[in-house]
């Protein structure tokens, strides 16, 4: 009887084993790459890094956490004409794994405050501009709303479309003023229904946008946003 040769030679089996091992390595690397890319897509340019960077805008210097800065380029620090921040409300936190859904889901943007910091170009903030500018563009009697707010309708030829001005009294200070495009239905609210600007620091304009759902908290919102930025201004160490 003649000897039968094996169906697979030992060298063929070794080559197959090496190829299978290489394939597993490639698949593992591919899986890791897909996971990394998926996380990058999920973050959509966000970062969870909390280390601070120094930002200089005009005469003002600030220390801001990277995860509060919307633009990746701003996270390098340095001189800027403006920077954009986003913070959760009411805890005023930047992007984190625990709150990523608020930042990633447009339907939940009503829980965010959007802030833009730039050098002031006007001598008066929105409250200071109400009397000399906005009040002259209103028509009809103001409407009393809840939470000590008055609604002022702007004329059709004012250039502000369907926007309105809301004002509220503040003890020892000029009236609060905010411009809003109020949603017709509750489900139409966004994270940018209302906008207001105030002055902070030496020469800094703090412009912020928020949902109309937060108007009942206008006093706390205005105070907390101002305090947040003020606390991050770097004071001049020179005597």
Hey, where are the domains in the chain?
Answer: 8-43, 52-230
Instruction: Give the integer Cα–Cα distance in Å for 94 and 207.
Output: 17
Q: Is the pLDDT of residue 42 over 90?
A: no
Q: What is the DSSP letter of 73?
A: G
**Tokens for 188?**
């139409």
Q: Is the pLDDT of residue 36 over 80?
A: no
Q: How many CB atoms are located within 10 Å of the residue 147 CB?
A: 11
pLDDT in tens, 130-189: 999 999 999 999 999 999 999 999 999 999 999 999 999 999 999 999 999 999 998 899
Q: Is the pLDDT of residue 3 over 70?
A: no
pTM of the model: 0.81
Q: Which of 135 and 17 is assigned the larger pLDDT?
A: 135
pLDDT in tens, 56-73: 999 999 999 999 999 999
For residues 225 and 113, the answer to whether their CB atoms sit within 8 Å is yes
When pLDDT is averaged across residues 61-88 and rounded to a whole number, the result is: 97
Which residues lie below 8 Å from residue 183, measured CB to CB, with a gap of 6+? Answer: 189, 190, 193, 212
pLDDT band of residue 9 (cuts 50, 70, 90) is low
Q: How many CB atoms are located within 10 Å of the residue 57 CB?
A: 21
Q: What is the pLDDT of residue 235?
A: 86
When pLDDT is averaged across residues 88-112 and rounded to a whole number, the result is: 93
pLDDT in tens, 91-101: 999 999 999 99
Q: Is the pLDDT of residue 14 over 70?
A: no
pLDDT band of residue 108 (cuts 50, 70, 90) is confident
pLDDT band of residue 40 (cuts 50, 70, 90) is very low
When pLDDT is averaged across residues 6-31 and rounded to a whole number, the result is: 50
**Tokens for 133?**
């500018």
pLDDT in tens, 204-237: 999 999 999 999 999 999 999 999 999 999 987 5
Instruction: Give the integer Cα–Cα distance in Å for 36 and 20.
Output: 24
Q: What is the pLDDT of residue 130?
A: 97
């Amino acid at each position: 009887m003649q000897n039968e040769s094996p169906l697979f030679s030992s060298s063929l089996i070794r080559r197959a084993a090496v190829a299978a091992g290489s394939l597993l390595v490639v698949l593992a690397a591919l899986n890791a790459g897909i996971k990394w890319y998926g996380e990058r897509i999920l973050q959509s340019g966000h970062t969870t890094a909390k280390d601070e960077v120094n930002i200089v805008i005009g005469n003002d210097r600030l220390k801001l956490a990277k995860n509060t800065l919307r633009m990746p380029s701003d996270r390098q620090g340095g001189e800027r004409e403006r920077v954009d921040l986003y913070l959760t409300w009411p805890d005023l936190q930047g992007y984190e794994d625990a709150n990523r859904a608020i930042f990633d889901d447009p339907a939940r943007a009503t829980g965010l405050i959007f802030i833009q910091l730039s050098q002031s170009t006007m001598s008066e903030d929105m409250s200071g501009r109400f009397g000399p500018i906005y009040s002259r563009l209103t028509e009809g009697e103001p409407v009393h709303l809840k939470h000590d707010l008055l609604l002022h309708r702007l004329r059709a030829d004012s250039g502000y479309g369907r926007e309105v001005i809301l004002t509220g009294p503040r003890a020892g200070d000029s009236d609060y003023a905010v411009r809003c495009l109020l949603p017709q239905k509750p489900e139409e609210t966004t994270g940018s229904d209302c906008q207001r600007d105030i002055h902070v620091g030496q020469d800094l304009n703090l412009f912020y946008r928020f949902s109309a759902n937060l108007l009942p908290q206008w006093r706390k919102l205005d105070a907390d946003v101002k305090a947040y930025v003020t606390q991050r201004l770097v004071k001049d160490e020179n005597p």
